[in-house]
Structure 1
Amino acid sequence: MCGIVGYVGPQDAAPILLEGLGRLEYRGYDSAGLAVATKSGLKVRKVSGRVADLAADLPARFKGAPGIGHTRWATHGEPTPENAHPHTDAAGRIAVVHNGIIENADELRAKLAADGVEFASQTDTEAVAHLVAAAFQAGAVDLEQAVRQALRQVVGAYGLAVMDAEHPDRIVVARNGSPVLLGVGEKEMFVASDVAALIGYTRQVVYLDDGELATVTPTGYRTFTLDDRAVAKSPSTIDWDVVGAEIGDHAHYLIKEIQEQSRTIERALKGRIDERFDTAHLGGLNLTVREAREIRRVKILGCGSACYAGDLGAQLIEDLARVPASAEPASEFRYRNPVVEPDTLYVAVSQSGETIDTLAAVQELQRKGGRVIGIVNVVGSTIARQVDGGIYLHAGPEMSVAATKSFTSTVTAFALLALHLGRIRDLSPEQGRRIIAGLNALPEQIAQVLEQSDAIAEVAREIAGSNSVLFVGRRRGWPVAREGAQKLKEVSYVHAEAYPSAELKHGPLALVSPELPTVAIVPDDNLLDKNTSTLSEIKARKGPVIALAHRELPSDLADRTLVMPKNEPELDPILMSVPLQLLAYHAAVALGRDVDKPRNLAKSVTVE
């Protein structure tokens, strides 16, 4: 949520800021703005709407540097130009952009108002600009000192960047619970909340940790703490490329990323299959064989699609490693008082590596002595650096808000983890070879699923006019149904619910009617008879049925069958997820939705 970009150097800042903000549009936002330093002071431009609207609104002479830009996802006040960032003090000397939430904003605003400050917005962020200005009035000698004095009064989460018209050679940034990083260029520097903003400008980045600040100038950077202790930080190299973040000739990022899944699964597997011992090689776990054998339980934490992937991961771990495993929404886990067991392995799942609820759960576990590994896509992200070890997905940038390639890559990573743990225990070499053969077959089978896109689009157009859609599945099909329902509602806005097939008789069957389509996950496994019995119950009540199956089902069980290639039972959910992504995509297109940026949603959820 929200995006920050900053630039200091010899070039005009505005074009660089606009390009960076454009690369952050996938995060979700409702307004945008820029501030640049000129010889006559700061220039600020803000709009409610898209980055393209901001670019169109800029005057021809909006030139200068340094500059900061922001895309806002509303938390305090409606998405209006007044509430958009950057925010300034009354004199227009200080400009601030901010991600996160200042929890004591009401108290700060009341105190500042009592001192005569008049606010121009409803936001929590504006208070920071006035606090920095007040610090100068109280005797702060430079921008670093003024920002430190201001932040000592702030309670809450923030990633922020601050400019001062009277110090136009620098930007000061700070982090506490919301990501901020520095980009190191040649006689120029960048700041951002996400590495995606820097693609094409630099591959050298410096990640700030909570409680750290930095000053960037054209010649370099200095990192320090709130009490002005120096912190040594070295740049890391990012491996994302411009091509991976470009839409190319695709209509939307979402369909591009769906179609990339054969390659992303290959990357997730690359270098991790050990055919000599019929196992998976996962050196990043930082677990010895002895430590892995001592694990008695696995607990998986994630939010949204990451949690559904965790449900599938838990079943893989139980099936292959015979270790009790379960998944739970990190947003719920963080608010209870969990029992943290020394022989439990905790797994945090996050595409962005910045999901605030998941990060808070990780930190709580580590405070209580828990061992936590991560399954993360973004190298160098906060969760990736916080955990004790883990698995990178290497799926490349996922620009659409809806998770697709990151979901299937996550489940693939869980299959590797389950294989690794299983072979350390009692999984036989023969069973290990079976799973490896299934994993190696996935890329080609996903390509076969993608060839059915036109047929799936026809089904999608049929259900797009429905008020609601029911998704059902048993065992491994149940998390697939949940993920399918989420995809449909988040990108098409068609209401969708998912239920375990066996639960229909316990209430939801009352909803079945000719107006309610059901999407059923019907793999050809040992529960096939149970699943076809469920379809009979739905058809007996005249409910339309669309089945995902490994064979064509008779018309008295399904109105339409989408026949999928068959893999091993443990891996079939990966393949079954892909047609549901296509179903959601084509339904959204048929309804004219903003496919890549669904309303009210954000890619990286960094606020509660």
Structure 2
Amino acid sequence: MCGIVAYIGPRDAAPILLEGLQRLEYRGYDSAGIAVAPPAGAKGAKAAKGARGAHQDAPRELRVRKTKGRVADLAETVPARFKGGAGIGHTRWATHGEPSDANAHPHTDRAGRIAVVHNGILENADELRARLRDEGAEFLSETDTEVLAHLVSAQLAEADGDLEEAVRRSLQQVVGTYGVAVLDAEQPDRIVVARNGSPIVLGIGEKEMFAASDVAALVRYTRQVVHLDDGELAVVRADGFRTFTEDARATAKQPSTVDWEVGSFDTGEYEHFLAKEIHEQPAAVERTLSGRIDDRFATAHLGGLNLDPREARAFRRVKVLGCGSAYYAGELGAQLIEELSRVPAHAEPASEFRYRNPVIEADTLYIAVSQSGETYDTLAAVQEIKRKGGRVLGVVNTVGSAIARECDGGLYLHAGPEISVASTKAFTSTVVAFALIALHFGRVHDLSPADGRRICAGLKALPDQIRQILDHEKKTGQIAELAKRYADHPGMMFVGRVRGWPVAREGAQKLKEVSYVHAEAYPASELKHGPLALIGPELPTVAVVPDDELLEKNLTTLGEIRARRGRVLMVGHTAPDVKLAEDTVLVPRNEPELDPILLGIPLQLLAYHAAVALGRDVDKPRNLAKSVTVE
């Protein structure tokens, strides 16, 4: 889980690589490095500090800089004269070996001629390392990636010095997942990239080419991109590219246009991306809804599902798969689908799904949820379902991503790029997308036109209601003040019933992600079956209490907590008796089925302000990365 950037063209690569890595730092950020091939006239150039020691007879060596820490730390080590028009860069989130200078990418062979950056995990790295050691290779890191650098170097002789052939033969010996970029000091006119389970995107410029693991690194320079498929390689030169498979068959790729703006990758008026993205939610929800509400028939217009009404009615069950916040959004989505269409629906962590040898049913519709569209556990679940003949839809934010391409149909969120590791606008837009799906399925089944119109009106009201919540916080600072008080506690309990339960789970997830305050979510109805033993003055409870048919039962739970001297922060529609909740945050009412979307917004603000109060690295919380492309 990390970021890759590559450039080849007439400009110096180093500044472009560093700028691209800064845009990808949210994907991994414990170490960073770049390697640049010296210009063609620089024969015999010595490797820069940080590169592997080279044989004196090596005619050309790469210039390498890498360091533990952030991209800013790396930039301080790169000299002004770090020339070369071809280079690769990497920012890392550790999977093999602790963060250190030695374990940072790029990794090179012994001669300093070959450099590799790699996302993913090579499962047979130990076996390959032992074989290469027997052949004389010396290893300086704990990483699996270094194995690949030595392997490519060893294959060069057998491939008559042909870099793409050497990379192709090397990858045929590898077991595992990878997104890689390979640079050869002796062939500075090309970079070879490859993908298997970890994204690689090519960027097409004017007499220059780019490659990256995420389009975020490319949008400043080009909007024309090509997504590699699993098992595909590309040779990238300044004047173009060529793609082919691991068995050397040529492939044809058509560029697509990225519609993200460069400004989306700046914090603008906000201190953090997380704050910016929370406040972008009204516009993000508007984009998710745009063109998808059919007032005439009180339904949703979702041609991307690729399901006609007869096919939609044939499904007897819906299974939603996602990881982390996408899973919690899937829980809300399953609830919406079941409530509006009366088709049984259930959400499950995608990371566990394929390991229990699931039964794939012909009359079950599977929906995969991923903000990045590249989450490996979710992608693997999709592939398992497809392998067994199941029908899969995707709900993703990134156009052209692997999950989007694997699925039979689905919805793009159009939420815009999300840079902060903790998901907010993508989470909210995902739940809105599920509301559209639930409305569509409901009207295909037995949801009345009157109820359809009611849900359509509720969906249209969401953006302005989210603005109301955010504007109220800007004016009053209520949640920021509450966050300062509650952040001093060692932990917090989050509770909710039915519609409020997934909201509570996501609220607890956000708090622990960005503030490092321990948070546990529990169904409010289950407190008395064990967790009530934890309740006391030292453990505050955040209660999600919509004004629905379970209001009285939720208030009874608050009474149980207060009777044990527990402090309660209630998020709901109506302020209860002061004896039941010490603090209350109110949100506007929508339709009961859609209220959870609004109830989640204050919990995002609570987590953000708690993290700020505690001095946390809000956008890059420790140990986490945005796009989880390994198991």
Bin for the TM-score computed over the shorter chain: over 0.9
145-154 or 297-306, which moves further after superposition? 145-154
Match in the other structure for 1:444: 464
- Report the alpha carbon displacement of residue 571 of structure 1 after superposing the two structures with TM: 0.4
CA contact (8 A) 2:219 2:258 kept: no
What SS does the aligned partner of 1:542 have? coil
Letter in 2 for 1:154: V
Asked if 1:571 corresponds to 2:571, the answer is no
Match in the other structure for 1:527: 550
User: Distance between the aligned counterparts of 1:451 and 1:497, measured in 2?
Assistant: 29
Match in the other structure for 2:371: 351
Match in the other structure for 1:478: 501
Q: Deviations over 1:488-530 (max 9, x none)?
A: 0000000000000010000000000011100001111110000
- Which of residues 203, 208, 211 is equivalent to 2:231? 211
Q: Deviations over 1:437-492 (max 9, x none)?
A: 11111111101111232100111011100101000000010000000000000000
User: Distance between the aligned counterparts of 2:486 and 2:422, measured in 1?
Assistant: 19
Question: 1:150-549 counterparts in 2 under 5 A?
Answer: 150-453=170-473, 454-549=477-572
Q: Deviations over 1:385-444 (max 9, x none)?
A: 110000000000000000100011000000000000111111111000000111111111
What SS does the aligned partner of 2:542 have? strand
Letter in 1 for 2:13: A
CA contact (8 A) 2:159 2:165 kept: no
What SS does the aligned partner of 1:450 have? helix
Q: Deviations over 1:83-109 (max 9, x none)?
A: 100000000110000000000000111
Match in the other structure for 1:7: 7
Over 2 Å off, 4+ runs: 137-141
Asked if 1:89 corresponds to 2:112, the answer is no
Match in the other structure for 1:35: 35
User: Distance between the aligned counterparts of 1:598 and 1:363, measured in 2?
Assistant: 30
Letter in 2 for 1:572: D
% identical equivalent positions: 72
User: Distance between the aligned counterparts of 2:238 and 2:434, measured in 1?
Assistant: 44
CA contact (8 A) 1:522 1:547 kept: yes
CA contact (8 A) 2:371 2:426 kept: yes
Gaps of 5+ in 2: 46-60
Q: Deviations over 1:220-249 (max 9, x none)?
A: 000011121111111111111111222112
Letter in 2 for 1:546: L
User: Distance between the aligned counterparts of 1:124 and 1:391, measured in 2?
Assistant: 36
CA contact (8 A) 2:497 2:525 kept: yes
User: Distance between the aligned counterparts of 2:236 and 2:275, measured in 1?
Assistant: 38
Letter in 1 for 2:7: Y
Match in the other structure for 2:151: 131
User: Distance between the aligned counterparts of 1:46 and 1:307, measured in 2?
Assistant: 36
Q: Deviations over 1:127-169 (max 9, x none)?
A: 1111111112334331011111211211110100001111010
Q: Deviations over 1:45-85 (max 9, x none)?
A: 00100011111111121121200000011111111111100
The count of residues paired between Structure 1 and Structure 2 equals: 608
Asked if 1:607 corresponds to 2:630, the answer is yes
* TM-score for the superposition, normalised by structure 2: 0.96
Match in the other structure for 2:128: 108
- Which of residues 615, 621, 628 is equivalent to 1:592? 615
CA contact (8 A) 2:27 2:93 kept: no
What SS does the aligned partner of 1:335 have? helix
What root-mean-square deviation, in Å, do the aligned CA atoms of Structure 1 and Structure 2 show? 0.8
CA contact (8 A) 1:88 1:94 kept: yes
CA contact (8 A) 1:159 1:176 kept: yes
Q: Deviations over 1:259-300 (max 9, x none)?
A: 011111111100000001100000100001110111111000
User: Distance between the aligned counterparts of 1:549 and 1:135, measured in 2?
Assistant: 64
User: Distance between the aligned counterparts of 1:244 and 1:57, measured in 2?
Assistant: 28
What SS does the aligned partner of 1:213 have? strand
CA contact (8 A) 2:284 2:414 kept: yes
User: Distance between the aligned counterparts of 2:124 and 2:226, measured in 1?
Assistant: 29
User: Distance between the aligned counterparts of 1:77 and 1:319, measured in 2?
Assistant: 47
User: Distance between the aligned counterparts of 1:68 and 1:160, measured in 2?
Assistant: 10
User: Distance between the aligned counterparts of 2:172 and 2:303, measured in 1?
Assistant: 41
User: Distance between the aligned counterparts of 2:339 and 2:170, measured in 1?
Assistant: 54
* TM-score for the superposition, normalised by structure 1: 0.99
User: Distance between the aligned counterparts of 1:81 and 1:469, measured in 2?
Assistant: 38
CA contact (8 A) 1:28 1:401 kept: no
Match in the other structure for 1:69: 89
TM-aligned CA distance change 1:186 to 1:534, over 3 Å: same
User: Distance between the aligned counterparts of 2:154 and 2:160, measured in 1?
Assistant: 9
User: Distance between the aligned counterparts of 1:372 and 1:162, measured in 2?
Assistant: 34
User: Distance between the aligned counterparts of 2:295 and 2:143, measured in 1?
Assistant: 57
Q: Deviations over 1:160-190 (max 9, x none)?
A: 0001111010000011111111111110000
What SS does the aligned partner of 1:255 have? helix
CA contact (8 A) 1:70 1:85 kept: yes
175-184 or 354-363, which moves further after superposition? 175-184
CA contact (8 A) 1:252 1:596 kept: yes
User: Distance between the aligned counterparts of 1:539 and 1:314, measured in 2?
Assistant: 32
